[in-house]
C-alpha cells in the first residue's frame, strides 16, 4: 500500500549505477532504497565526461572535486587520421556555463555519488543500498517490485535506473525491447602515464599545455580515437570506435576483453602518434555501441525510467551520464517533501514532460556524430551542440521556459 505519511515517500531505485545513485542522492528527502543485482564490488574501470550541465547539478548536491581528482576540459583538439589538425578550440566551461566540464575516472564518480547518496552527514536521510537484489518483475500500478528470491517490496515510487537491459522498461511498455546496433563497437583502455614517456606528442595529450588539459580526437571516415586524461592526469583514457565488422566478438557489456592486436590493426592507416597511444594500452575492453529509439513513454503508474533505461544513447556527445543526472534532478523537483502518494503517477508524468524532449534531442545529436566527415565533406566542429548540451538551467529553468507548471511546493 502507498505510504500513508504524505511528507515522505517510499522510493525504490532499481540499479546502483550512475543514474540510480544520482536519483538516490536527489531524493534524500524521501525514504530511498536502492536495489542492485550485483555485489557492487567496483564499477568498471573507464572514464566518463561530466559536462557543466550535469556538474552544476552534482556540485549542488555536494559533490567534492577533491574526491573526484578530475581534470577540467580547457580545450578540444580534433585531428585527421593523418595527424593533421582540423581545429583546436578553447573551452571556457566555467565562464560560459557556470560549472566545469569534468573528465572523470568512472570508479571515482561512482564512488562519489554513492557517498552522496549514503552519507549520514548530508541533508535528509541516507539511502539504503541492497546488493545481490535482482528485480525480476514490477507491478507499476500497485507499486510492487519482486526480487529473484520471491521477496516483494512495496513503494510509492519506483525508479528504473537499470540500464539498457531494463526490467523496468519492459514493465512500462508491456514488451521487451532490444536496443539497436549502431554498426560500431568501442574499445576502451586506461593508459598509465609512464607508458607514454617515449613520445612527447602523445604525452602532451595527457599532460595538456599551458592552458590546461583537454580532449583529443583522431578522426577517420568510419572510425575514431578519442583520448583524454583522468584521475589527476595520471591516466590517459582512450575510446577507439571501429566498425562492427572489425570487432565481431563485441557485446553491449563493458567487461568483455578486447584483442590489442585487432585494435591496432583497425587503426593501421592512422598516424604514428595514434598508433603509439594504442600500443601503449596494457589491455582493452570491447563493447558494442547500441542505442534505443525514443520510447513512447517513460512512465506507467508508479514507475519511471531514467538514464539508459529511458534514453540509451551513443557516446559521441559525452552526455549519457549527464542526462541521467538531469533526470534525477527533475525527479527531486516534481517530488518535493510534501508530495502525497496519490499524486505520484501524475508527478512522474510531469518529470517525463520536462525531460523527454531534451534527452531525445541529445540522443539525436549523438547519432548525427556517429560517423566522421565523408571524403571531401567540410569538417564540422564536434562541439557545435555544446551550447544546447551544456546550457541547461535545470528542471525548474526548463519548465519555466517551456510553460510547464510545477507543483506549488516544488
Q: Which residue has the cell 522498461?
A: 169
Per the residue annotation, which of 187, 195, 224, 228 is the catalytic one? 228
Q: Give the CA-trace dihedral at 374, 376, 377, 379, to 10 degrees.
A: 100
Question: What's the half-sphere exposure (Cβ side, CA atoms, 13 Å) at 248?
Answer: 1
Q: Provide the 8-state DSSP code for 72.
A: B
Task: Say whether 230 sits in a helix, a strand or coil.
Answer: strand
Using DSSP, how many helices (H) and how many strands (E) does the chain show?
14, 18
Per the residue annotation, which of 28, 106, 169, 188 is the catalytic one? 188
* Annotation marks residue 365 as catalytic: no
* Annotation marks residue 28 as catalytic: no
Q: Is the separation of the CB atoms in 272 and 107 below 8 Å?
A: no
Q: Is the separation of the CB atoms in 337 and 288 below 8 Å?
A: no
- Alpha carbon 13 to its chain's center: 17
Residue 386 to residue 370: CA distance in whole angstroms: 16
Residue 207 to residue 216: CA distance in whole angstroms: 12
Of 320, 266, 259, 265, which Cα lies nearest the Cα of 289?
Answer: 320
Q: Is the separation of the CB atoms in 51 and 114 below 8 Å?
A: no
Q: Provide the 8-state DSSP code for 3.
A: -
Residue 203 to residue 196: CA distance in whole angstroms: 5
Q: Known catalytic residues? A: 188, 228
Amino acid at each position: 500500500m502507498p505510504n500513508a505519511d504524505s511528507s515522505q515517500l517510499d522510493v525504490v531505485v532499481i540499479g546502483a549505477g550512475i543514474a540510480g545513485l544520482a536519483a538516490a542522492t536527489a531524493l534524500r528527502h524521501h525514504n530511498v532504497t536502492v536495489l542492485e543485482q550485483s555485489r557492487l564490488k567496483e564499477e568498471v574501470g573507464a572514464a566518463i565526461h561530466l559536462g557543466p550541465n550535469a556538474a552544476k547539478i552534482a556540485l549542488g548536491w555536494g559533490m567534492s572535486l577533491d574526491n573526484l581528482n578530475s581534470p577540467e576540459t580547457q580545450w578540444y583538439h580534433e585531428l585527421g587520421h593523418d595527424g593533421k589538425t582540423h581545429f583546436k578550440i578553447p573551452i571556457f566551461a566555467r565562464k560560459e556555463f557556470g560549472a566545469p566540464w569534468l573528465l572523470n575516472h568512472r570508479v571515482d564518480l561512482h564512488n562519489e555519488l554513492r557517498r552522496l547518496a549514503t552519507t549520514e552527514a548530508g541533508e535528509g536521510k541516507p539511502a539504503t543500498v541492497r546488493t545481490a537484489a535482482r528485480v525480476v518483475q514490477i507491478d507499476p500500478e500497485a507499486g510492487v517490485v519482486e526480487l529473484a528470491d520471491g521477496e516483494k517490496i512495496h513503494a510509492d515510487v519506483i525508479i528504473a535506473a537499470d540500464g539498457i537491459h531494463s526490467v523496468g522498461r519492459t514493465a512500462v511498455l508491456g514488451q521487451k525491447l532490444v536496443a539497436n546496433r549502431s554498426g560500431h563497437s568501442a574499445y576502451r583502455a586506461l593508459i598509465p602515464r609512464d607508458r607514454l614517456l617515449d613520445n612527447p606528442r602523445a604525452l602532451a595529450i595527457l599532460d595538456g599545455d599551458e592552458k590546461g588539459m583537454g580532449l583529443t580526437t583522431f578522426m577517420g571516415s568510419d572510425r575514431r580515437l578519442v583520448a583524454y586524461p583522468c584521475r589527476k592526469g595520471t591516466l590517459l583514457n582512450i575510446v577507439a570506435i571501429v566498425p562492427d565488422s572489425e570487432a565481431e566478438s563485441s557485446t553491449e557489456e563493458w567487461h568483455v576483453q578486447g584483442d590489442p592486436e585487432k585494435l591496432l590493426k583497425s587503426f593501421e592507416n592512422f598516424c604514428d602518434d595514434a598508433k603509439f597511444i594504442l600500443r601503449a594500452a596494457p589491455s582493452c575492453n570491447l563493447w558494442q555501441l547500441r542505442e534505443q529509439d525514443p520510447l513512447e513513454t517513460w512512465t506507467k503508474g508508479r514507475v519511471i525510467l531514467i538514464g539508459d533505461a529511458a534514453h540509451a544513447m551513443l557516446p559521441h556527445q559525452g552526455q549519457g551520464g549527464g542526462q541521467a543526472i538531469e533526470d534525477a534532478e527533475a525527479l527531486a523537483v516534481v517530488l518535493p517533501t510534501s508530495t502525497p502518494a496519490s499524486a505520484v503517477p501524475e508527478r512522474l508524468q510531469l518529470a517525463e514532460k520536462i525531460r523527454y524532449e531534451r534527452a531525445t534531442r541529445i540522443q539525436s545529436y549523438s547519432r548525427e556524430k556517429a560517423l566522421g566527415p565523408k571524403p571531401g565533406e567540410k569538417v564540422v566542429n564536434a562541439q557545435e551542440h555544446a551550447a544546447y548540451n551544456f546550457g541547461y538551467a535545470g528542471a525548474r529553468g526548463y519548465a519555466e521556459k517551456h510553460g510547464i507548471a510545477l507543483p506549488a511546493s516544488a
